[in-house]
Structure 1
Amino acid sequence: MTPIPLTFTDKLQEFNDCSESHKSAIDEITKEFEINTDKLKKISEHFRNEMNKGLEKHGQTVAMVPSYVTGIPTGKEVGTFLALDLGGTNLRMCQVNLEGDGKVSVRQQKYKVSDSLKNGEARHLFDYLADCVDKFLSEFNISSSAEDKLKLGFTFSFPVDQTAINKGSLIYWTKGYTAPGAVGKDVVFMLQDSLNRKVVPVEVTALVNDTVGTLLAHAYKHSNTLLGVILGTGTNGAYFEKISNIKKLKSFSSNADHMVINIEWGAFDNERKVLPLTMFDNKLDRKSNNPRKQALEKFISGMYLGEIARNVLLNLIDRTLLFDGFSSKDLNNQYYFETEYMSTIEADDTNTLEKTKRILEESLNLPSTTLTDRQIVKRVCQLVGLRAARLSAAALSAVISQCNVPESGCNIGIDGSLFLFYPSFKERIKRALKECLGPNADKIELDLAPDGSGVGAALAAMLSA
């Protein structure tokens, strides 16, 4: 049997032997997930056009939210500030000590956000945030007074319409949150109200998106930082834009030249003009809690990749091309094929794909699998993971081109589990950037930016003081 051709720029799982029907089906799926160089450039160009629309007018698909953070960290700042980071599953509370010379020390504690809090009344969620702040202060013996409140930067990783450094209304929830009573409300006011009612001596002085925080934290250590990016449960980016280019800020005056823009790129192409939608993506979107929203996020974030792969696997099962046509109760459940499984499967370099076998037969309770089954599953994971990395690169290249820095180079700080743990994700992004930017892509540094959202929120609190 002739090996299935590789149409990507990546080394994909090959097969020892398979039938013509297997070969035809896998070829077809491979082509659906392929994004060649021309398509990559087209997506990147459209992304940049959407960015400029968002800079011109409010209410655009790519919102380009002004952060009102106009200071750029120098690395010399010193002081101690609090940071509260609400992202996906966890809430993180930090005390950040800025030591100068780009050095920081952090004391932190994580708290679980239950599904009932994510989907219950928003007041209960914000009361829980205030309780966690209070608990943290007690645990670490941090004291203050009602007259001299501790300053806190609030990292809120959801789309907001921000009107000041410490004011911003929630546009809509993402990442599985639906808590009613928050959309259209000022989230800083809601948090401060909860803190005040519980008599917690803390003042919320800055509101930042997690990407804004990541950008500020990375810039504190690397002066040539252009972008802060999240590639994890969700995805987004923030960058330093010239204030003169932010046309929708007509009445804003500042002595500064630049402002941090929260791109909110998860919503890119909600209109479905350029992203390569497959029936597997459409199925995921229809059954999601936010249909026809967050289009790009559903292609490249950790919350969704496993579900896309699961949809492909079920399609092959229905065609009796996988597992002899049998599924399992676990594999039939939405979101049960986790992105973490994909990471393990992609990293499985054993001859018989034993790690893949354990996931399929022990974690997902499939009765038995053949080597060909496991090879097909690995190929599917590679296709979904590779497409996610290439689309991430399309977004990055658009921002880099927008800022006219391809020749001089820049540093990009990236946080999130996909970038940190997913096999070859960074390398795949770098290869795709080279396709978009040519040799200048070698001057783009992609660095891990751990704890960016917490340290960045503290920096924003300091810059707002």
Structure 2
Amino acid sequence: LQLEEILQCLRLTGETVIKVGEIFLQEMKKGMKDEPSSLLMENTYVPELLNGTESGSYLALDLGGTNFRILLVEILSGALVREKVKKFEMKEEARLGSGLELFDFLAQCISEFAHEHDVADKNLPMGFTFSFPMHHKSIHNGILRNWTKSFAASNVEGNDVVIMLQEAIERRGDVKIRINAILNDTTGTLLQGCLIDPRTRVGMILGTGTNACYMERADSISHWESERHGEKEVLINIEWGAFGDNGVIDFIKTFFDKQVDNNSLYLNSFSFEKYISGMYLGELVRIILVHLTNNRLLFNGKLSKKIQEKSSFKSYLVSLIEVDSVENTTINTEKVLKDFNLKYSMDDIKTVKYVCELTSLRAALLISACLSTLLQQMDKPDVTIAVDGSLYEFHPRIKIWINKFVQILAPSYEFRLLQAEDGSGKGAAIASAIALRLQKSYAQEA
């Protein structure tokens, strides 16, 4: 009973879930009108998706972490027919040195790749997936707001990374390429989803971080910095990891969440991400297990050194323990507890499984509250939601839960979840193809 009392705060009632969805909608609407909101609702200036007429060769650069990739993609009648990919290791001095060094290094790798595939002199268009917070001024302008992850190159924040990369390519003079589209991994996931299923209208990342984007009516968005061309829709990058940074959903914040926040690098920010993403789910479980042990409700009140270390309990362990719950076994849970040097009883195993279930379930409910709100806001009868990310891929039942909850919350809409892997690579090439088609049609108008 005492255990239930302590964990009760992690259980969300139906009313609470609906309330989160309503507040999400209010924040979205404020963000669209450029009013103060925890949601940026960033205009990506992508007004259309694939229409089946796109053909040609496109380059793509995917930069979002310590590895980056360059792709050469061939598209025929809106379908991907061939792709060549090369992975590169990001040198530490490029990540942490000057912006000039970073972009010169990227340009060098692009040049190597282009020469290797005999396209250095073809003047190919290139899409650039840049998975950092940025502000768009057009489909081919992206200004870095701030570095995240392990990047800290100087003199880049506040500057247009497309211009910086294009200038670095031109400084070399040994390769002809024009960057005509910039996007983040979430937009890339939606575009990659379109290749598989043309009904795709939402993209979601559920991995280390989390975000979503969707197609909104163009006239609902007050923020346009480039010339309008009669766009009916536009792809909006929500940046939902920051949902609630202004306190609007603090009513779901528990004592445990406050500790996760205190242990994190970014205090009082990425609030929504801290409830649902892979970066924090394991830490949340660890904090709860330590609290229960300190209250003598677990492991006979005895903590190991390892379980007391911040961030030692990774989210993939939560997924592994959840596999035990689905398969009605204890194999993974016992292995995890042994690795943490914890002495456990069968009751302890049950409790650990229960904590992983409660935290995962809460994450699924919160995601579902937001996805169902998006379906209602778009008001399309049939929508595919493209998803990428390790938590979505490896958690054994988060997909099942999200499917079930969204159906309950938005019963009048047909939808499906689609796993769209590698949106950040192929998605950049697709964005480039769409941008080229639009460029040509605008030139004809003029």
CA-CA distance at 1:73 after TM superposition: 0.7
Hey, what's the Cα distance between the residues in 2 that align with 1:291 and 1:122? 27
Partner SS, residue 433 of structure 2: helix
Q: Report the AA paired with residue 304 of structure 1.
A: Y
1:82 aligns with 2:56: no
Partner of residue 13, structure 1 = none
Q: Contact (CA 8 Å) 1:76, 1:102: kept in 2 or not?
A: no
Give the 3 Å change call, closer, same or farther, for CA 351–219 of structure 1 in structure 2: closer
Q: Contact (CA 8 Å) 2:62, 2:128: kept in 1 or not?
A: yes
1:464 aligns with 2:440: no
Q: Contact (CA 8 Å) 2:189, 2:427: kept in 1 or not?
A: yes
Give the 3 Å change call, closer, same or farther, for CA 196–318 of structure 1 in structure 2: farther
CA-CA distance at 1:331 after TM superposition: 2.2
Partner of residue 411, structure 1 = 384
Q: Report the AA paired with residue 144 of structure 2.
A: L
Q: 1:448 aligns with which of 419, 423, 440?
A: 419
1:248 aligns with 2:226: no
Give the 3 Å change call, closer, same or farther, for CA 374–129 of structure 1 in structure 2: farther
What pairs up with 1:245-284 in 2 under 5 angstroms?
A: 245-249=220-224, 252-275=227-250, 276-284=252-260
Q: Contact (CA 8 Å) 1:173, 1:183: kept in 2 or not?
A: yes
Partner SS, residue 458 of structure 1: helix
Hey, what's the Cα distance between the residues in 2 that align with 1:311 and 1:343? 17
CA-CA distance at 1:390 after TM superposition: 1.3
Q: Report the AA paired with residue 451 of structure 1.
A: D
CA deviation map 1:349-371 (0-9, x unaligned): 57661221112213x3x153222
CA deviation map 1:398-446 (0-9, x unaligned): 11111112xx1211111111221111111111122123113x35x1111
Partner SS, residue 348 of structure 1: helix
Q: 2:127 aligns with which of 153, 178, 200?
A: 153
Partner of residue 331, structure 2 = 354
Give the 3 Å change call, closer, same or farther, for CA 107–409 of structure 1 in structure 2: same
Q: Contact (CA 8 Å) 1:75, 1:221: kept in 2 or not?
A: no
What pairs up with 1:198-209 in 2 under 5 angstroms?
A: 198-199=172-173, 201=175, 202-209=177-184
Q: 1:311 aligns with which of 283, 287, 305?
A: 287
1:344 aligns with 2:323: no
Q: Which moved more, 1:312-321 or 1:228-237?
A: 312-321
Partner of residue 441, structure 2 = none
Q: Which moved more, 1:242-251 or 1:119-128?
A: 119-128
Compute the TM-score of the two structures, normalised by the length of structure 2.
0.89
CA-CA distance at 1:189 after TM superposition: 2.2
Hey, what's the Cα distance between the residues in 1 that align with 2:257 and 2:308? 17
Q: Contact (CA 8 Å) 2:285, 2:355: kept in 1 or not?
A: yes
Give the 3 Å change call, closer, same or farther, for CA 71–315 of structure 1 in structure 2: same
Q: 1:380 aligns with which of 335, 342, 355?
A: 355
Q: Contact (CA 8 Å) 2:22, 2:373: kept in 1 or not?
A: yes
Q: Contact (CA 8 Å) 2:50, 2:78: kept in 1 or not?
A: no
Partner of residue 15, structure 1 = none
Partner of residue 7, structure 2 = 30
Please provide the CA RMSD for this pair.
2.4
Q: Contact (CA 8 Å) 1:309, 1:384: kept in 2 or not?
A: yes
Partner of residue 443, structure 2 = none
1:229 aligns with 2:204: yes
Partner of residue 99, structure 1 = 76
CA deviation map 1:105-130 (0-9, x unaligned): 32223334577765555544444433
Hey, what's the Cα distance between the residues in 2 that align with 1:126 and 1:229? 28
Q: Contact (CA 8 Å) 1:411, 1:445: kept in 2 or not?
A: yes
Give the 3 Å change call, closer, same or farther, for CA 279–348 of structure 1 in structure 2: same
Q: 1:173 aligns with which of 137, 147, 172?
A: 147
Partner of residue 45, structure 1 = 22
Hey, what's the Cα distance between the residues in 2 that align with 1:383 and 1:97? 45
1:296 aligns with 2:267: no
Partner of residue 183, structure 1 = 157
CA-CA distance at 1:77 after TM superposition: 1.9
Partner of residue 328, structure 1 = 304
Partner SS, residue 236 of structure 1: strand
Partner SS, residue 163 of structure 1: strand
Hey, what's the Cα distance between the residues in 1 that align with 2:224 and 2:431? 20
Partner SS, residue 347 of structure 1: helix
Q: Report the AA paired with residue 24 of structure 1.
A: Q
Q: Which moved more, 1:210-219 or 1:328-337?
A: 328-337
Hey, what's the Cα distance between the residues in 2 that align with 1:228 and 1:200? 36
Q: Contact (CA 8 Å) 1:118, 1:125: kept in 2 or not?
A: yes
Hey, what's the Cα distance between the residues in 2 that align with 1:154 and 1:65? 17
Q: Report the AA paired with residue 258 of structure 2.
A: N
CA-CA distance at 1:448 after TM superposition: 0.8
CA deviation map 1:378-405 (0-9, x unaligned): 1111112111111111111111111112
Q: Report the AA paired with residue 152 of structure 1.
A: M
Partner of residue 10, structure 1 = none
Hey, what's the Cα distance between the residues in 2 that align with 1:123 and 1:371? 58
Partner of residue 62, structure 1 = 39
List gaps (5 residues or longer) in structure 2.
Answer: 437-446
List gaps (5 residues or longer) in structure 1.
Answer: 1-22
CA-CA distance at 1:263 after TM superposition: 1.1
Q: Which moved more, 1:171-180 or 1:221-230?
A: 171-180
Hey, what's the Cα distance between the residues in 1 that align with 2:91 and 2:130? 17
Give the 3 Å change call, closer, same or farther, for CA 445–143 of structure 1 in structure 2: same
Partner SS, residue 143 of structure 2: strand
Q: Which moved more, 1:93-102 or 1:75-84?
A: 93-102
